Structure 1
């Protein structure tokens, strides 16, 4: 699988995008509205088919009643008045095979959820999302996304930042248990033992466009070029 995008909960996605530009020089663009979920986004694209999504609430009642686990997670943060990275997506080009595998392994999941929005260019972007069932208050497990047209990319080449996505790091309670769970869920294979920035033991997987890393801790952190988020 590839890393697709980092989801950042934001009260004001456009302002969060501007703040990133002022602090790091990252170019961002307007995304669009998800009317069925009551949300909207702004985006920053990077040069190895990865991006940041600042996701905000546009219609409170619609978002509050959404059955989409991502929107439920966003609303939880919204109610707690907490902003920042909340999850991320891994990209597949064959979600049906993953669903078949999860069914065979009796892995509980939600979805796939169909999504679409109209881009500023007027074209329609469509995708599907698949979520393993878990308690997002206790740990992080990424969802899986499949784009109808392969990937989500900037309409204009100049809106793609020249720096790449490098690493997504996830803090876990029990490293060995988490390693086995991630291998089972996402068919990742054996990871490479390593250490995180604090010198703690970690496990790393090479994705198609970067590295996925687990170590003991909390939350998620992503690195794009020399920028840590």
Structure 2
């Protein structure tokens, strides 16, 4: 199976300490992630690294310059003890049609909602994504995203560390594969405790994050 999933948009590396994780990524790869921007009122900000093609890595964590939100921050960053690859996103050609098709085949992607992020230069980016619905608790089933007329993050001036592989383990891979097929994508899966691993190509050679 291809270890670069079909329709891959981005991989989410969540962390309770953004500065430390960004520095660790730079130390291991020689690539310094670029500031992405601030998720206003959500209490998070992110850093980005291109993965080649129209895909990127999002490193997301608490924003120390924002007050703590009244609700939990995205991707469960408040409950993490260390950085972890938490989930991934795909970008179907037609988001609404993909949601309808998945529901017709028995999988609820969740409702589509609007999101935004303000870049360091002040530009406000807007996009739509599925809110999770009844996601698999492992995070192995991707959420769906549509950037609309907003320039894709991979097209901005971000450093690139090409993705060599995105793989995962699951207690029952055969439970996951049909759901991925429903969304028109795939993921290299083996049996084991639920979790992700991705490998990027660097000047230091291949580097793997779990």
- TM-score bracket for the superposition, by shorter chain length: 0.7 to 0.9
Structure 1 residues without counterparts, runs of 5 or longer: 189-204, 206-211
Structure number with greater CO (CA < 8 Å, separation at least 6) is: 2
- 1:112 is matched with 112
Structure 2 residues without counterparts, runs of 5 or longer: 1-5
Q: TM-score, normalised by structure 2?
A: 0.81
- 1:146 is matched with 146
Report 1:64-213 matches (<5 A).
64=72, 71=74, 73-75=75-77, 78-130=78-130, 131-136=132-137, 138=138, 140-148=140-148, 149=150, 151-153=152-154, 155-156=156-157, 159-161=158-160, 163-184=161-182, 186-188=183-185, 205=186, 212-213=187-188
Alpha-carbon distance in structure 2 between the residues aligned to 1:129 and 1:40: 17
- 2:12 is matched with 7
Distance 1:24 1:52, change over 3 A: same
Partner SS for 1:160: coil
Alpha-carbon distance in structure 1 between the residues aligned to 2:129 and 2:43: 17
Q: What's the offset of the Cα at 1:47?
A: 2.9
Which has the larger share of helix? 1
- Between the two proteins, the alignment pairs up a number of residues equal to 194
Q: TM-score, normalised by structure 1?
A: 0.75
Choose from 64, 69, 73 the match for 1:61. 69
Partner SS for 1:228: strand
Which has the larger share of strand? 1
Q: Is the contact between residue 50 and residue 159 of structure 2 (CA under 8 Å) also seen in structure 1?
A: yes
Partner SS for 2:153: coil
- 1:30 is matched with 35
